[in-house]
Amino acid sequence: MPGGTPNPGGPEPTSSGPSDPGRGGTAPNQRLALAAMLFAVSMTFIDQTIVAIAAPEIIHELGLTSSQMQWVVNAYLLALAAFFALGGRLSDIYGHRRVMLIGTLVFVIASALCGAVPSGDFAQAWLIGFRAVQGIGAALMFPAALAVVIAVFPVERRGRALALFFGLSGALTAVGPLLGGWLTDWTWRAIFWVNVPVAVIAIVLTLLAHIPERTRREPLDLPGAALVAIGMGLTVLGLQQASTWGWGSAATWGCIVGGLLVLVLFCRLELRTRYPLIKLRVFRDLAFRVDTAVLFFAMMAFVPVFFFASVYAQVSLSASPNQAALYLLYFFIGFGLSSQWGGRILDKRGARPAMRLGTAVGAVGFALWAGKLTTLSMHDQWPYAALAGAGIGLLLAPASTDAVNRSIDASYGEVTGITQTVRNFAASIGLAVYGTVLTHTTADKVAATLRGRGVPEGAARDAAEAVAQSVTGNADSRGPSGGGPVAEVVRDSMQAIRVDFAEANQWVFYGMAIALALAYLCSLRHPGTRVTQEEPPS
């Protein structure tokens, strides 16, 4: 991760290192091992953003609604969050290389099946289901790949290797929209198929690298794994289905409250378990709690912005997938440039100044960006998109690195498991909440537009709900019965509806600004102490 050398902060991994190739084995090839892990995890980062660009095309071809498309994106994030810690424990127990290879195979098979989704009644269940399987594969692959890097590099070279691992893999998040735009011009199915050659390269390099394997004889916390998956799943289900069930529905609040209660039960269980899935004792450290809270609120904006900005560009700005990718590139330019600055601040002054500055800049950037969405002009928006990206870039590496350095009696991989779980869960919550806000607000604004053009209240509401669920605003595919006077009014009102959709997106982007503002308030609680390899935490 740029800007800091992570400190394992705990016992060394039990896997054999380069000076201990194992029982009569061959010493690992460190460069091949690192390259293999980078190829593997690159797929997980790219898949967080690549689907957003293809969303309107997928909706149009498969006939999905807005809520269903959001589940296609969110199923991956939720599965990744729910099973990340389990993937790390499986890696420790059964061997890093073995679990990494299994995770890669699961991921790439699910990717191929996502691309092969049939049209018709089964399309929704097929695509959402295999996106969740993709997330499980990524949850197995990522922590195991991280553990491989730790295992094959000695301590004096590990910091540089990890910086490269996180820096390059994180930068590949920006590749997703660009690659997605180019592939979608051919077919949206290719955004999933592209993972196949990447996975083949990762598997071949892994086998050639002679990575040592060692296992641990420890019990697996299956009750904890089940509770965290159920708790996260129920919470996100309630938040996302609120757009369909309504905020007054007992089902909505039953899922949200029930999920949170299950997560509380999970935490109580982990504190009493001898071999917990997640070592929660690290939360005794105030700085770690602050780092985690900052990451939580920041990730509520960082990943969801790809989906909502991409769909906004293709609906309100009538952009092509390639143009939408370039629109997101403004955000990534700010992110890439500022991430290096954030790393230097971390090295010189610690994480607190970088987090405070980043959260403040991000909150202002998202707020200003939201205010410009109704101009329907990319040219007017790019400075604010870049400013929002700069805020995230300033805080992400310092908060992540400082959190890892705070590990008490857990390994680097175990603490990374906590932060990655928090980050992906936050992204999943953000997508669910903003999706609900966008659907409701779009429906209200479109209904008002149609009423102003003489459509009766009931018909206007029905047509508005159909348009809001279509995402693309394509009245021919989602209008009221595809014909009749109301459908004709909808078609004649498409320019006004695009403005309505932009105004609805303003609420989403203001929500992201609020999330960064909350992250700023959390950063004020950071004690400002610094942790280095020379000064481990007490």
Q: Is 97 a residue whose pLDDT tops 70?
A: yes
The whole-number pLDDT of residue 25 equals: 55
Can you tell me the distance from the alpha carbon of 300 to that of 513, in angstroms, rounded to the nearest whole number?
Answer: 10
pLDDT the model gives residue 412: 61
Burial classification of residue 80, based on how many CB atoms lie within 10 Å of its CB (0-12 exposed, 13-18 middle, 19 or more buried): buried
Q: What is the mean pLDDT of residues 428-455?
A: 90
Read off the tokens for 505. Answer: 């997106």
* pLDDT computed for residue 193 by the predictor: 93
**Segment 296-347, tens digit of pLDDT:** 999 999 989 988 999 999 889 988 888 888 898 899 889 888 887 887 888 7
Superfamily the domain 1-6+22-219 falls into: MFS general substrate transporter like domains (1.20.1250.20)
pLDDT in tens, 278-302: 888 888 889 999 999 999 999 999 9
Question: How far apart, in Å, are the Cα atoms of 509 and each of 49, 205, 236, 379?
Answer: 17, 42, 20, 18
Nearest to 386 by CA among 408, 366, 359, 406: 366
Measured CA angle at 276 (ends 271, 281), to 5 deg: 45
Range 481-508 average pLDDT: 80
Q: What is the model's pTM?
A: 0.84
Q: Which residues neighbour 46 within 8 Å (Cβ) at sequence distance 6 or greater? A: 172, 173, 175, 176, 179
Q: Is pLDDT at 390 greater than 80 in this prediction? A: yes
pLDDT digits 0-9 by tens, 352-388: 999 999 999 999 999 999 999 999 988 899 999 999 9
Task: Provide the pLDDT confidence category of residue 10 given band limits of 50, 70 and 90.
Answer: very low
Determine the Cα–Cα distance for residues 515 and 305; give it in Å rounded to an integer. 12
Higher pLDDT, residue 138 or 247: 138
With H, G, I as helix, E, B as strand and everything else as coil, classify residue 380: helix
What is residue 250's predicted lDDT score, i.e. its pLDDT? 93
The answer to whether 188 and 4 are in contact (CB under 8 A) is no
- 79 token code pair: 């599965």
pLDDT of residue 32 exceeding 70 = yes
Number of helices and strands in the chain (H, E): 21, 0
Token pair recorded at residue 5: 């050398």
- Please state the rounded mean pLDDT for residues 510-520: 97
Among the residue ranges 183-187, 372-376, 502-506, the one predicted with the least confidence is 183-187
Query: Would you give the DSSP letter of residue 41?
Result: H
The tokens describing 73, both together, are: 């994106």
SS (H, E, C) 218-281: CCCCHHHHHHHHHHHHHHHHHHHHHHHHCCCCHHHHHHHHHHHHHHHHHHHHHHHCCCCCCCHH
d(CA 341, CA 334): 11
CB 357 within 8 A of CB 525: no
**Measured between alpha carbons, how far is residue 253 from residues 126, 147, 401 in Å?**
27, 39, 36
State residue 171's pLDDT score.
Answer: 67
The pLDDT of residue 122 is above 90 = no
Read out DSSP for 182-209? HHHTT-TTHHHHTHHHHHHHHHHHHHHT
> What tokens appear for 443 in the block?
């429906």
Q: What is the mean pLDDT of the chain?
A: 83
Q: Give the Cα separation of 72 and 431 in Å (integer).
A: 11
- Lowest model confidence (mean pLDDT) among 40-49, 373-382, 513-522: 40-49
User: What's the chain's length in residues?
Assistant: 538
Domain residue extents for the chain: 1-6+22-219, 221-274
